[in-house]
Structure 1
């Protein structure tokens, strides 16, 4: 019976779990995976059983699942499965597969590339392969190129093949006129187009229609474009510090003139923001991992 008694408020529960109270609220609001009782003041009270469930979900998230995938596993009565053993087994398999894919890419072995990709997609979730595995393999490719271990041709071949595979997957997702719409806007030719492609994949998998309008031209041009598309979300991608101030000015304009528009900012330049700028624009910063993306969207959009 003690496990069913509410004893932890949200701050205490969040401290035990190692997450922010806002994250916990967002998970409950979005997924309803637990139902904490309320005290006389209306504050949430979490039981030992709630903490146990939440710890398991966070463990799955730390293993590479999204929170929605973790909750799906829980709903399918897989809470008692041996996560440690499974993670170890998949981890060993994953390292070998990534090494094989890297080797096949730099040797231009198209048939072997397809074989290892098919194995990856049959072993891991699509998101795991596209967002996690592909990123790590391309990071190794990039490091090898910088160190002079591979040629520019090997690098370009690897990058173009993986991008093409992701693009094919994106186009395989169905379209629906009732989907939310997202506009992608690039502020620099040196923006992270691979990172943008990954976020494009992430949004399409969640039923968001993505429209890439390319480089920013002018406020007037953008306003006319938004009036045609009527998007729910705009993602501004940056690649260079010199464009940061112009992008931040654009965000202020969009916030003022398009109050129903959700605005996101993704950029390698975010780390160079002044502390006051980063604090002011923190609601727009999407993050770099799939769980950061999921939390950012969950708190701002209804799917």
Structure 2
């Protein structure tokens, strides 16, 4: 093992070769070295930079995170968190690791330990891809907090603190994603009188990561403004989230109204109130129902937008 480590630290690639291997420009690589000191290339007798296999691994990891939407500074912070993760976690399987992080994040949030929660989320991003963090960790944290709130196990203060924290972390991911024109344009907004937007934000991040243009409006807007939004944006789809059962009928009514305004628009509805509604209601809105989780989402996108 020590011999392999020594071999990985032998300089063998010049800056042109390393740039081609990891896919970044030499000037960018030099800037990263100067600003962040994340790697220190060795020098040959002529004074030229030489990069090791270890450097290749580090740079590829950083480039992957940058391509997922992180800034290089954020990616380096995640890498450093990854390098300092506990030896106990290294022996856990991926599922055990993610479940352990879910429990730690929830525990931190419910004791108002914000810095501790940030550290655990950073560790999650250092270990897993953005999609896995969204679906295996943040989504589960969101569901657990919501369940505890509905069951009266935590106060509204705990729920507001946790929601604010998760919204901030999701917003960091969202703001670093490109809004390209590869796939159709969609509008995403909470249903009437809905304030819980985390589930919608997770779905929006997923849509943007796979190429959809998404106009994210967040918490509910005045129903009278919807027609103007549709007129100005001319979206191919209109996505709504509904968490409270008290707002489900209003959300369904708005979906029907939108269809009358723009008959060819694709309507999508999701959220806790939708997924847990009675069978007769579900039967009446089946055409709108997005489903829960990535596999359901992909199926809905395939049926409505020929995605994948």
State whether TM-score is above 0.5: yes
- Aligned-partner SS, 2:286: helix
Match of 1:121 among 112, 125, 130: 125
**Is 1:217 aligned to 2:222, yes or no?**
yes
Q: Report the CA distance between 1:135 and its aligned residue.
A: 2.5
TM-fit CA distance, 1:159: 2.2
CA distance in 1, matches of 2:257, 2:269: 14
SS at match of 1:173: coil
Is 1:299 aligned to 2:298, yes or no? no
Deviations 1:236-283 (A, max 9, x none): 2334445444443443343344233211112444343562x5334312
Cα separation, 2, equivalents of 1:142 and 1:247? 20
5+ residue gaps, structure 1, are 1-85
**Aligned equivalents of 1:256 and 1:151: distance in 2?**
41
Contact 1:181 1:231 (8 Å CA) reproduced: yes
Map residues 158-237 of structure 1 onto 2, 5 A cutoff. 158-177=162-181, 179-190=183-194, 192-213=196-217, 214-218=219-223, 221-237=225-241
On the 8 A contact 1:191/1:240 being kept in 2, the answer is no
Q: Distance in 2 between matches of 1:130 and 1:174?
A: 17
Pairwise CA distance, 1:299: 1.3
The structure whose RCO (Cα within 8 Å, separation 6+) is larger is 1
Structure number with bigger Rg: 2
Relative to the length of structure 1, the TM-score reads: 0.60
Q: TM-score if structure 2 supplies the norm length?
A: 0.59
Structure-to-structure mapping, 1:24-35, within 5 angstroms = none
Secondary structure (helix, strand or coil) at the match of 1:182 reads strand
Task: Give ranges in structure 2 of 5+ residues lacking alignment.
Answer: 1-89
State whether residues 189 and 240 of structure 2, in contact with CA within 8 Å, keep that contact through their aligned partners in structure 1: yes
2:282 is matched with 278
Aligned length in residues = 216
Q: For residues 249 and 147 of structure 1, what CA distance do their matches in structure 2 show?
A: 28
Q: Deviation of residue 117 (structure 1)?
A: 1.9
Using the alignment, how far apart are the partners of 1:226 and 1:300 within structure 2? Answer: 18
Q: Give the root-mean-square deviation of aligned CA atoms.
A: 3.2
